[in-house]
């Protein structure tokens, strides 16, 4: 059984109450050439005529496909849900990935190409975009550049300015360490000062700060580790153990090649307007992408419609931590208000 799980993965068919495959459903786990290399897609939906929902994962490199079976099944009844393992991430990871191609402009190009592929395949004109963390850096840039292809944009843990992001996140970990009297945390965190300016290319410092941020509940509310979610990932039918090893390797590749580039992001100055409906979904306890920056951006952002939605029992992962509420928002609000 272990050896089977090591290499094998597939996505199950969508069946009706009688156990028969729904004739209009779509369930594919496939690689597609995007940007000159093979990249993997998990596409699922009860009806191939439903609108397309493209999920842009975080990280960079932190794929969300392994969690789809747990958190996205309700969405599949109303959308064609597309999880894309981006260049260098998850199933799309390869030792042969050209590190020079791991740049923000190339990811924008990849996303645009993928949207065109999906629109053509499913005979539609637009997609919905959900961007989580790094995925909303990419999503905001794509929506800004190609609004004519987008029904609406949903940002989870919205990124605004990485330099300010890291300063606030770091200060939260210092404050929590002092409050809890955690001398070990304080000692390790103080060695990073001034963070992040000491060295914005130092992903080891980033990982150390995020280790303590996770322990202090600023990533997952009421959890001190990723273990509950790792167990979910290991249960995914769509990802083998080999794929999950690539997941880990892809995170390292993506961060090492792209982290410095993210310090160029300042959306308040760079993207003051989006020409599609915008929904920010923010965890009340999020210090991975601090909610106060998202509030500031939201208040200054011009859009035909915009809404800021709080998740009171979440930190950085409201689409997992409060997934039923998140799914309801997409189905009962975003889909109804922004289908055009």
CATH of the domain at 22: 3.40.50.1820
Q: Do 147 and 260 fall into the same domain? A: yes
- Are the C-beta atoms of 309 and 338 separated by less than 8 Å? no
Is 274 inside any structural domain? Answer: yes
Is the confidence at residue 3, as pLDDT, over 90?
no
Q: Are residues 214 and 72 in the same domain?
A: no
23 shares a domain with 42:
yes
C-alpha span between 198 and 245 (Å, rounded): 31
Query: For the residues 97-126, what does the mean pLDDT come to?
Result: 98
pLDDT in tens, 203-244: 999 999 999 999 999 999 988 889 999 999 999 999 999 999
Residues 197 and 261: their CA atoms lie apart, in Å, by 14
In a domain, 170, yes or no: yes
Assess whether 205 and 273 both reside in one domain: no
What Å distances lie between residue 6 and 1, 70, 182, 237, 239, CA to CA?
9, 20, 39, 11, 9
Number of domains in the chain: 2
User: Does residue 45 share a domain with residue 20?
Assistant: yes
Which of 225, 255, 273 delimits the end of a domain?
Answer: 225
In a domain, 302, yes or no: yes
The range of the structural domain enclosing residue 198 comes to 162-225
Residues 107 and 143 in one domain: yes
Q: Indicate the residue among 225, 249, 274 that finishes a domain.
A: 225
Q: Is residue 190 part of a domain?
A: yes
Determine, yes or no, domain membership for 233: no
| Mean per-residue pLDDT, 294-306 | 98
Where residue 5 falls among pLDDT bands split at 50, 70, 90? Answer: low
Q: pLDDT tens-digit profile of 251-292?
A: 999 999 999 999 999 999 999 999 999 999 999 999 999 999
pLDDT for residue 1: 47
- On whether both 74 and 133 belong to a single domain, the answer is yes
Under DSSP, the state recorded for 51 is P
231 assigned to some structural domain:
no
The residues, any chain, with a CB within 8 Å of residue 240's CB and separated by 6 or more, are 5, 6, 7, 8, 9
Average pLDDT over residues 298-304: 99
Do 261 and 327 belong to one domain? Answer: yes
Instruction: Examine residue 326 and state whether it is found in any structural domain, yes or no.
Output: yes
- 103 in the same domain as 13: yes
pTM, two decimal places: 0.96
Report if residue 272 sits inside a domain.
Answer: yes
Q: Provide mean pLDDT across the span 318-335.
A: 98
Which of these, 258, 157, 173, lies nearest to 214 by C-alpha position?
Answer: 173
Do 329 and 277 have their domain in common?
Answer: yes
Whether 208 and 113 map to the same domain: the answer is no
- Mind listing the pLDDT tens digit for each residue in 143-159? 999 999 999 999 999 99
Please say which residue of 198, 225, 252 terminates a domain.
225
- Distance CA(230)–CA(223), nearest Å, equals 13
pLDDT in tens, 21-52: 999 999 999 999 999 999 999 999 999 999 99
| Predicted confidence (pLDDT) per residue in 70-105, tens digit | 999 999 999 999 999 999 999 999 988 999 999 999
Query: What digits encode the pLDDT tens for the residues 162-175?
Result: 999 999 999 999 99
Same domain, residue pair 208 and 267: no
């Amino acid at each position: 059984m272990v050896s089977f799980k090591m290499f094998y993965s597939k996505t199950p068919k969508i069946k009706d109450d009688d156990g028969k495959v729904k004739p209009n459903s779509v369930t594919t786990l496939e690689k597609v050439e995007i940007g000159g290399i093979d990249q993997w897609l998990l596409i699922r939906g009860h009806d191939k005529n439903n609108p397309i929902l493209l999920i842009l994962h975080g990280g960079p490199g932190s794929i969300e496909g392994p969690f789809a079976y747990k958190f996205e099944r309700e969405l599949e009844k109303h959308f064609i849900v597309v999880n894309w393992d981006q260049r260098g991430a998850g199933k799309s990871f390869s030792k042969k990935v050209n590190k020079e191609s791991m740049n923000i402009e190339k990811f924008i190009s990849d996303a645009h190409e993928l949207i065109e592929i999906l629109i053509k395949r499913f005979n539609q004109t637009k997609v919905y975009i959900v961007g989580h963390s790094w995925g909303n850096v990419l999503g905001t840039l794509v929506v800004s550049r190609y609004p004519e292809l987008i029904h609406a944009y949903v940002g989870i843990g919205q990124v605004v300015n990485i330099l300010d992001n890291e300063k606030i996140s770091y200060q939260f970990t210092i404050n929590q360490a002092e409050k809890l009297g955690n001398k070990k945390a304080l000692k390790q965190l103080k060695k990073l000062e001034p963070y992040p300016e000491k060295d914005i290319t130092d992903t080891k410092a980033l990982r150390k700060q995020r280790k303590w941020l996770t322990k202090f509940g600023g990533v997952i509310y009421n959890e001190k580790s990723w273990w509950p979610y790792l167990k979910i990932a290991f249960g995914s039918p769509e990802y083998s153990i080999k794929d999950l090893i690539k997941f880990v390797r892809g995170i390292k590749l993506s961060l090492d090649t792209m982290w410095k580039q993210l310090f160029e992001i300042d959306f308040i100055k760079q993207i003051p307007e989006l020409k599609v409906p915008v929904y920010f979904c923010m965890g009340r306890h999020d210090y991975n992408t601090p909610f106060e920056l998202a509030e500031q951006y939201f208040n200054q952002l011009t859009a035909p419609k915009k809404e800021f939605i709080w998740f009171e029992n979440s930190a950085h992962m409201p689409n997992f931590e409060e997934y039923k509420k998140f799914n309801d928002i997409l189905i009962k609000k975003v889909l109804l208000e922004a289908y055009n």
